[in-house]
Amino acid sequence: MKETMNSLLYPLCSAVALLALIYKSRVLRTERSVTQAALVANFFLLFVIFTVSTPSVWVATSELVGIANFSGLLTQSCVVIMTACQQLVLLHLTYGPEAARRKAIPRILALGLVLITMAVLFTGATAHGEAPNDFAVTRAQYTPAYLAVYLAAFTANQVEIGVMGWRYSRIAPSAWLRRGLRMVAFTLPFALVYTGCRTADIVAAQFGETGHPWEPAAQLGVGIAVIVQTVGWILPDWGPHLTSAGDQLRYRRAYRVLTPLHRSVTEEVPEPVIPVSPALHLRARLYRMMIEIRDAQWALRTWMDPEVARIAGVEAERVGLCGEELAAVVEAAQLRGAIEAKRRNRPPERPPETPVATAPGDLAAELAFQQRLARAMTSPIAIRSARYATASNTAHKETA
Question: pLDDT of 25-79, one tens digit each?
Answer: 887 777 788 888 899 999 999 999 989 988 888 888 988 888 888 888 899 999 9
What does the CA dihedral 127, 133, 135, 141 come to, rounded to 10 degrees? -90
- Predicted local confidence at residue 29, as pLDDT: 77
- Predicted local confidence at residue 399, as pLDDT: 46
Q: What is d(CA 140, CA 208) in angstroms, rounded to the nearest whole number? A: 11
Torsion sign across C-alpha atoms 392, 397, 398, 399: positive
- First CA to last CA distance, the chain: 93
pLDDT at 396 over 70: no
- The model's pLDDT over 349-365, given as tens digits with 9 standing for 90+, comes to 889 999 998 889 899 99
Q: What is d(CA 90, CA 67) in angstroms, rounded to the nearest whole number? A: 36
Pair 193, 221: CB distance under 8 Å: yes
Displacement of CA 381 from its chain's centroid (Å): 40
- The model's pLDDT over 273-315, given as tens digits with 9 standing for 90+, comes to 998 888 889 999 999 999 999 999 999 999 999 999 999 999 9
SS3 213: helix
> What is the chain's mean pLDDT, rounded?
87
pLDDT more than 90, % of the chain:
49
- The model's pLDDT over 190-229, given as tens digits with 9 standing for 90+, comes to 999 999 999 999 998 888 888 888 888 888 888 888 889 8
Pair 71, 132: CB distance under 8 Å: yes
Q: What is d(CA 53, CA 36) in angstroms, rounded to the nearest whole number? A: 26
Q: What is d(CA 252, CA 333) in angstroms, rounded to the nearest whole number? A: 26
Of 82-91, 119-128, 216-225, the one with minimum mean pLDDT is 119-128
Contacts 24+ apart (CB under 8 A), 199-203: 199/151, 201/136, 201/137, 201/140, 201/147, 202/140, 202/144, 202/147, 202/148, 202/151
- Predicted local confidence at residue 131, as pLDDT: 67
- Predicted local confidence at residue 334, as pLDDT: 94
b/e per residue 6-19 (b: at least 16 CB within 10 A): beebbbebbebbbe
48 or 395, which is more confident: 48
Q: What is d(CA 255, CA 363) in angstroms, rounded to the nearest whole number? A: 14
Pair 13, 223: CB distance under 8 Å: yes
Displacement of CA 297 from its chain's centroid (Å): 39
Measured at the CA of 260, the angle between CA 254 and CA 261, to 5 degrees, comes to 85
Displacement of CA 307 from its chain's centroid (Å): 49
